[in-house]
Amino acid sequence: MNEQEAAALVAVGTVQKLSGLSANGAKIRALLVGADDYTPKLKSKIFLALHTDSSGKSCSLGPSVGYQKVGDASGMHGIALALAITLGLDAEKFMRDNYTAALAGYYAYSDFQTERFKGILEMSELTCERQEAKLLTGAATLSANLATAIQFALRDK
């Protein structure tokens, strides 16, 4: 499976789960935006890009979160927690935050203006068979848990 297919598998499931949820008494509306096909300068409460890594040295990378603003950290850490719990990962073994270079240049990242937070979730390394297998077998549960984390982040504080 390639990166786009893996990300789409989780993203489609997450959007489907979000369509049945509400926050603060209002139905959650989610928009799935393709990495290369979107309208610039969109506004949303949350922007979450799903991504996977690959490496020339198999099993040398792991999950991580990326964000630009310090205020986005807590939202992205909630997203990372959903990933860790779902896939049975040790959060201490995640790559450091913002490990991904050139974050602002990733796909639609810089084109979204958000109210709550925005970031990128590096879900796994697809060149590591063990990580790929965990991601693919846990994709449906991960989608449900990401939807729950997003629902929680959308609630009034």
Number of compact structural domains in the chain: 1
Place of tokens 């994709």: 139
Question: pLDDT tens-digit profile of 85-140?
Answer: 999 999 899 999 998 777 767 777 888 899 999 999 999 999 999 999 999 999 99
Whether this prediction's pTM lies above 0.85 is answered by: yes
Residue 101 structural domain: 3-154
For residues 28 and 32, what is the distance between their CA atoms, to the nearest angstrom?
13
Paired sense of beta strands 42-53 and 112-125, if any = parallel
Condensed to tens digits (0 to 9), the pLDDT of residues 2-41 reads: 888 999 999 999 999 999 999 999 999 999 988 777 777 8
CATH of the domain at 132: 3.40.630.40
- C-alpha span between 21 and 143 (Å, rounded): 13
152 touches 75 (CB < 8 A) = no
